[in-house]
Structure 1
Amino acid sequence: MTSMEALPAEEPVSDSSFDLQGHVSRAQNDYSEVFALYEDFSRTAESILETCLNNEKIYTHSITSRVKSIESFSKKVGRQSRESPGTPKYSDPLRQITDLAGVRVITYFLSTVRDVERVIRREFEIIERIDKSKLFEKEQRLGYQSFHYLVKLKENRNTLPEYAKFSDLVAEIQVRTILQHAWAEIEHDIQYKATYALPIEIKRRFMALAGLIEIADREFQAIEEKDHELIQAARSSVAQGALGGLEITPDALKAYLDRKYGADGRVSPYTYSWAVDLLNALGFKDLAEVDKAVAGFNDGEISRIVYGSRQGQLSRFEDVLLAALGEQYIEKHLWNRGNEDDWFPAAARVKMEKLRAAGVEVGLRKLPDAG
């Protein structure tokens, strides 16, 4: 059995003498036959989402998929109808239970939730979009927040041989922030373990936390937007040469070095962070002080004197700092452990001797706090 259309029709449900256990058993057998198909479908939906989000550089905390277990499916099929006790809630389980295949996307920021939805709309046919925060009163979910999408593959994918077998299947995609996810998981765990209705005091605490998490999500979003704004402002200042008072951050330093020494795509963000730590250890307070210290030095020439060839951007920058500051650079360097026999001071002094031998005046610049 490879598609939803191949599934047998359920017997009609009409009276209280209905064999509920037999209904569960038949549905379980039917689901067992297509379980592997749904498992494959959930992984495929996850892969489509992950690839598309990565291609657009939309960063998330995690993207995971799962297929509903046969045990969980059987429990759900065994639920009785509220309107007609004794009869099943799901008369046609494989068609009515829509979360057999599932994908969950957890984001860091609220704005990313919107970005993920845009990709879902483009890549899938959305059957239904559910905002769980609008349903919490009816479902007594105590402020649960998440967007759920029931989706199918679009026709353009269904025509491809590798996707054709999924043409009639539905998957549920959940999208929420990491704070919403933590809240929902804890709330679900407490609700699930409870053998009684939760006391009003507990419900009130959950509601209060839901409000705090909403505020926190908004604040994190505001921080992310402000960080982006500051990064753009710093890049603009570097481009204009307005370095006075410009904080030394990894992004600002990269922009400065790209402009001064040429871009180098081999340098990792971590390495720029390390370089910022070094400049802080040396006592520089803004990029104007850094620029003043290295002004007038030919980075390519210094690199060729020290190594015999032109090195990468940050290596050239560090050797210019060594040439400019001399012993001050060695004394305050992050790798100097105060041992004169240590490898770093010895290696740095070998470099200085090469520079002096080539006619470079070493150590003429002073650190900001050295006057």
Structure 2
Amino acid sequence: MSEITGFEQVPSHLWQYAQHQDFLADAAQETKRFLTELALDASIDVHLVEARPKTLASYMVKSEKAKDDGTPKYTDPAAQIHDCVAARVIVYTTRARNDLADLIVSRCEFRERQNPGDTKHNGYDSEHIVISGIKDADVHWRFGALVKFLGKYQGLEIQVRSVAGHAWAEYEHDIRYKSGAYQELTPEDKGRVDQYFVEAGGMRRYMDEIFDRIEELLRPQDVGDAAPTDEPVIRVGEPSPEALDPTPLDVNTLSELIAERFPRDEPGDLPSLVVFVEQLAALGVTTIGQLEAALSNLDEGQIARLMDYPTDTTRVRKLDDELLAVFLDRYVEAAEETDRRQLLRLRLRRVRGRFAIYSLEGLDGTQRPVAAARAVRDLVKLVAEREGTAATTIRGAVGTNQSDVTPGWFPKKVETSAGPVYVATNLSRSYAETLMCELVSRIPGSGVRVKRAGDLLFEAPPENSVADSA
């Protein structure tokens, strides 16, 4: 019988890592879910989310790496190796990449954020973030394995890339680090391949730029063309405000409303309704009737189409986005939590300006697109300054005194060179267009034209048309 005279002791960090394989797999799955939900909450389009634990063999090789002087690269591998679980998110544009990276560092404690391409200058472009914790303790219970992992391993690396940046990086890595053919090339030919990758990096940058331009056309970031934040998009034309349902708005009545509004969808995070009620109260919406009036300008499914949800969406999320579409920046600012305001601002791009579709042409060129109520006020000002304030009067909607406007229609004072005029702001689109038509008819010869989404809607009559009709 042979005698065992000795054995090689397994380092503690390798033994621990071997025991954690199932736990690491769970942490990877929760990392993927965390990143997927984060992107979905912000309406950031994602091509791919992947997360995986480093294999034991790979971990062992990395932990044994040495520096150029022969000393160990990692003196404490368990604390210093940050890709034991690693994640990668591929988005379509660099704008989306930056948005998601900003979200990650705002939601997580992080040890490092860098883009290695900033120093390599070879075409590589990817955000690298090492997170060490999730800030919101209220969600820890939903990501138990991930939170436990971050407590044990001190860091988790997340890469965020555009599709163009990912294509470049994947091919470059396969050629330079995995290809035996590349290793067999002469130094001169390797230099040529390297130069080709630099040139491909230039084309990658151009592709990213083009994709960002497309994104900007679809969902503009520039708020310069956005409707003013004081524009209510509330339909209170008919019935009158006095006929609105006076039922107080609370969590229970709001839950009933969204169940009727979205009967085929799952309820969603019902505790969020408390937040909605508070935000609506800050906007002066405190009854079911007022909320129904605010939402009545939206066609069924209109906002869902604009948001382009990648998966089935809950009633709560759909209502949140509809309120965002109606109240725009005011809804964002009414949110108390900074994290929520950040998410709402990102989602706002998908609906911003969709109701600001009216523009006026005439005396001072073409105005930027505005909402219906603002277009009415602009026309009132034109009429007053051209024909006098008396010429602006329209029963119940426009008058020289605040009392001339129907109670509950939220009159807004418009300053003109001829004096102040009061104009209703709670207008249905159809009634607002009726007012536009009437106001334009009162400034013959002005050349003023009203366009809706680029199409001519109304045009001031010629100067002699009034005399001819007389």
- TM-score range for the pair, normalised by the shorter chain length: 0.5 to 0.7
The within-5 A match list for 1:34-49 is: 34-49=20-35
1:184 matched to 2:169? The reply is yes
Alpha-carbon separation, structure 1, partners of 2:139 and 2:47: 32
User: Who is 1:106 aligned against?
Assistant: 90
Question: 1:153, CA displacement in angstroms?
Answer: 1.8
1:219 matched to 2:210? The reply is yes
**In the alignment, which of 78, 81, 85 is matched to residue 94 of structure 1?**
78
User: Who is 1:124 aligned against?
Assistant: 108
Q: Count the aligned residue pairs.
A: 225
Alpha-carbon separation, structure 1, partners of 2:99 and 2:43: 10
Alpha-carbon separation, structure 1, partners of 2:10 and 2:119: 28
The within-5 A match list for 1:282-297 is: none
Question: 1:143, CA displacement in angstroms?
Answer: 2.7
Alpha-carbon separation, structure 1, partners of 2:84 and 2:17: 9
**In the alignment, which of 188, 207, 210 is matched to residue 201 of structure 2?**
210
* 1:184–1:34 CA distance, 2 compared to 1 (3 A): same
Of 109-118 and 187-196, the range deviating more from structure 2? 187-196
Q: Which runs of 5+ in 1 are unaligned?
A: 1-20, 240-260, 271-371
* 1:262–1:42 CA distance, 2 compared to 1 (3 A): closer
Question: 1:107, CA displacement in angstroms?
Answer: 0.6
Alpha-carbon separation, structure 2, partners of 1:201 and 1:22: 47
Of 68-77 and 149-158, the range deviating more from structure 2? 149-158
1:201 matched to 2:192? The reply is yes
* 1:59–1:22 CA distance, 2 compared to 1 (3 A): farther
Question: 1:267, CA displacement in angstroms?
Answer: 11
Q: Of Structure 1 and Structure 2, which has the larger fraction of its residues in helix?
A: 1
Alpha-carbon separation, structure 2, partners of 1:58 and 1:81: 40
- Kept in 1: contact 2:31–2:87 (CA 8 A): yes
Question: 1:95, CA displacement in angstroms?
Answer: 1.4
Alpha-carbon separation, structure 2, partners of 1:268 and 1:98: 39
* 1:23–1:91 CA distance, 2 compared to 1 (3 A): farther
Alpha-carbon separation, structure 2, partners of 1:184 and 1:204: 15
> Sequence identity, in percent?
27
The within-5 A match list for 1:1-371 is: 27-84=13-70, 87-136=71-120, 142-157=122-137, 160=140, 162=144, 165-166=148-149, 167-169=151-153, 170-195=155-180, 196=183, 199-228=190-219, 263-265=299-301
In structure 1, give the amino acid aligned to 2:23. L
Deviations 1:129-153 (A, max 9, x none): 121112326xxxx432111000022
Question: 1:72, CA displacement in angstroms?
Answer: 1.4
Alpha-carbon separation, structure 2, partners of 1:262 and 1:208: 48
* 1:77–1:117 CA distance, 2 compared to 1 (3 A): same
Deviations 1:210-261 (A, max 9, x none): 11101110111112212446xx9xx99xx9xxxxxxxxxxxxxxxxxxxxx9
TM-score of the pair, normalised by structure 1: 0.52
SS at match of 1:83: coil
- Kept in 1: contact 2:86–2:158 (CA 8 A): yes
Alpha-carbon separation, structure 1, partners of 2:138 and 2:179: 44
- Kept in 1: contact 2:53–2:85 (CA 8 A): yes
Question: 1:40, CA displacement in angstroms?
Answer: 2.1
Alpha-carbon separation, structure 2, partners of 1:36 and 1:202: 41
- Kept in 2: contact 1:105–1:175 (CA 8 A): yes
SS at match of 2:44: coil
Question: 1:23, CA displacement in angstroms?
Answer: 8.4
Aligned residues: CA RMSD: 3.9
TM-score of the pair, normalised by structure 2: 0.42
Alpha-carbon separation, structure 2, partners of 1:188 and 1:23: 35
- Kept in 1: contact 2:126–2:165 (CA 8 A): yes
Deviations 1:317-355 (A, max 9, x none): xxxxxxxxxxxxxxxxxxxxxxxxxxxxxxxxxxxxxxx
In structure 2, give the amino acid aligned to 1:188. H
SS at match of 1:199: helix
SS at match of 1:135: helix
Q: Which runs of 5+ in 2 are unaligned?
A: 1-6, 228-232, 234-296, 307-470
* 1:155–1:108 CA distance, 2 compared to 1 (3 A): closer
SS at match of 2:110: strand
